[in-house]
Amino acid sequence: MGEGANSLFPNYGSRYGLTFVKGEGSRLWDEQGKEYLDLMSGIAVTNLGHVPKQVTERLKAQIDQLWHTSNLFHIPNQEKLAQLLTANSCGDAVFFCNSGAEANEAAIKLARRYFNKVLGKPEQYEIITFQQSFHGRTLATLTATGQDKVKDGFAPLPEGFVFAPYNDAEALKQLIGPKTCAIMLEMVQGEGGVNRAEPEFIKQVTALCEQHGLLLIIDEIQTGIGRTGKLFAYEHYGIQPDIFTLAKGLGSGMPIGAMVGKEKLREAFSAGSHGSTFGGNYLSTTAGVATLETILNEKLSERAAEMGDYIVNELSKQLADNPLVKEVRGLGLLIGIECTQPVADLVTTLQEQAVLVISAGPNVIRLAPSLLITKEDVDRGISVIRSVLSKQAAAAVQ
């Protein structure tokens, strides 16, 4: 911890008392030179590992050229990244911002404005989201989030959000009314506990959207950019959202967010309706183009699918007789180990054993390794996890 730590707001708590000074691939080194195996990727961000040379080379070149001019002018790599995203998805137009929350904020604004200005139905502004979801920390996106803890102390919250239980189409149906304009969800709830949407549920969600003329918004901020074994997680379900949002993995750690929407929504964001000073600037979109091209050229989504299956199978086998472990589940390289007790201490013990993981909700250990992680590193990580969890199980019996 540096001397400046007391000059920060304490909203991130104690930060585990760890400071990393160097990274490469799936490795991080702390101030003492101790090496760590990274199975969390800065919360599902560094999908190509730390300091990936496919990105650093292009970023270095861009740093010597130009950093920022504003969205008053054309930005070549912003246009190139938008083209890459639309060519490889069901979307037709992109808005760039700087974070996930901003991408979801843009999605919420676009949905409302489409109903208000394009359809002439300003009374339809309500968005249905889901319990245990996470959509960000701005006032609108924390309101959209289905977890009370992120809303604590921030009233009054903006109107126009209602919550359904996840994977429950009947309950969802009951919430659709004359004010509803959109349904917004994650295909895998990342922060909420690595909960996968069931295919049958998604089929009914899309049918309800069609039947009632609602927009379908998919939050791909954690699941997108190859993480779940497809470029975007919605592809697993054979659906085409009207809007989807990206951030975390898109820039390999450079701050960037994006909202992608279908053609019919284009005019809802007419000139002057929305904007961002930094959004899609030279540096973040250079990182975005390099990241996305690498994921596509090296077929890293497929790799994530294979490696993810391997990890879930191995963990299921090796943790099968551990009474602390309730379930191992995941989609690609977004994996959860649900335990019968809170996992905060286990996360710290794993850190002491030089393996970095994160929790997802109180009882789930979440793994989100680099899409380029080697089998050797995976095997080592699994073996440390198994040994830490079996020691904990033995201690619980005594």
Binding site per annotation, positions: 100-101, 134, 137, 219-222, 276-277
Query: Which single residue is written with the structure tokens 């899409």?
Result: 371
Nearer to ligand PLP, 49 or 100 (CB): 100
Min. distance of Cβ 386 from ligand PLP in angstroms? 27
Min. distance of Cβ 375 from ligand PLP in angstroms? 27
Q: Which residues are annotated as a binding site for pyridoxal 5'-phosphate?
A: 100-101, 134, 219-222, 277
Min. distance of Cβ 259 from ligand PLP in angstroms? 12
What H or E segment, with its residue span, contains residue 307?
A: helix 300-318
Measured CA to CA, the distance from residue 295 to residue 289 in angstroms comes to 10
Measured CA to CA, the distance from residue 190 to residue 196 in angstroms comes to 9
Nearer to ligand PLP, 190 or 279 (CB): 190
Measured CA to CA, the distance from residue 382 to residue 363 in angstroms comes to 18
Nearer to ligand PLP, 150 or 393 (CB): 150
Min. distance of Cβ 120 from ligand PLP in angstroms? 30
Cβ-proximal residues to 397 (8 Å cutoff; 6+ apart), any chain: none
Give the residue at shortest CB distance from ligand PLP: 100
Q: Which residues are annotated as a binding site for N(2)-acetyl-L-ornithine?
A: 137, 276
Nearer to ligand PLP, 107 or 305 (CB): 107
Sheet with 35-38, strands from edge to edge, namely 20-24, 27-30, 35-38, 355-356
Nearer to ligand PLP, 219 or 242 (CB): 219
Min. distance of Cβ 136 from ligand PLP in angstroms? 4
First to last CA, the chain: 36
Q: Which residues bind ligand PLP (CB under 6 A)?
A: 99-101, 104, 134-136, 186, 190-191, 219, 221-222, 247-248
Question: 7 by DSSP, 3-state: which?
Answer: helix
> Angle 109-282-241 (CA atoms, 0-180°, nearest 5)?
35
